[in-house]
Amino acid sequence: NAGVTQTPKFRILKIGQSMTLQCTQDMNHNYMYWYRQDPGMGLKLIYYSVGAGITDKGEVPNGYNVSRSTTEDFPLRLELAAPSQTSVYFCASSQGQGGIGTQYFGPGTRLTVL
C-alpha cells in the first residue's frame, strides 16, 4: 500500500510551457485534492474531486485544470506556466461521507517557473 504518490518530485519550467503533475492513490478513496504551498505559508486548495468524473474549483484554481477519469488518478495540468505558479504542490485523498475522513498527503512536487 503506497498511499498517495506524486510525480515528478522536482521540475523547472520556462514561462509559457505546459506540464502535468501526476497523482495516484491506492486506498480507493473517493475524495482527492490538489493544494499549493507558497514559501512560509499554509496550503491552499486548487481543485478537488468527490469521485471519478466529478471535479470542482477550490480557492486558487486560475491557471490550472484537472480531470478525474479513474478513482486512483487525479492529474493537475498547468497550461501556460507563469512565475506566480512557482510553489510546492501537494495531492491528498480522503474517504468517508463528505470526505470527512483523514486526508492523506503525497510527498509533494517542487515546481519552479523561470
Partner 1 sequence: AQTVTQSQPEMSVQEAETVTLSCTYDTSESDYYLFWYKQPPSRQMILVIRQEAYKQQNATENRFSVNFQKAAKSFSLKISDSQLGDAAMYFCAYRSLAGANSKLTFGKGITLSVRP
DSSP codes, 28-86: --SEEEEEEE-TTS-EEEEEEEEETTEEEE-S--TTEEE--SSSSB--EEESS--GGG-
Among 21, 29, 36, 48, binds partner 1 (CB under 8 A): 48
Q: Write the interaction track for partner 1 spanning residues 51-90; mark x where CB under 8 A is met and - where it is not.
A: -----x-xx----------------------------x-x
Nearest approach in angstroms of CB 80 to partner 1 is: 25
Q: Is 26 in the site for partner 1 (CB under 8 A)?
A: no
Q: Is 102 in the site for partner 1 (CB under 8 A)?
A: yes
Among 12, 15, 82, 100, binds partner 1 (CB under 8 A): 100
Phi, psi dihedral angles at 98 (to 5 degrees) = 70, 10
Pairing of strands 109-113, 10-13: parallel
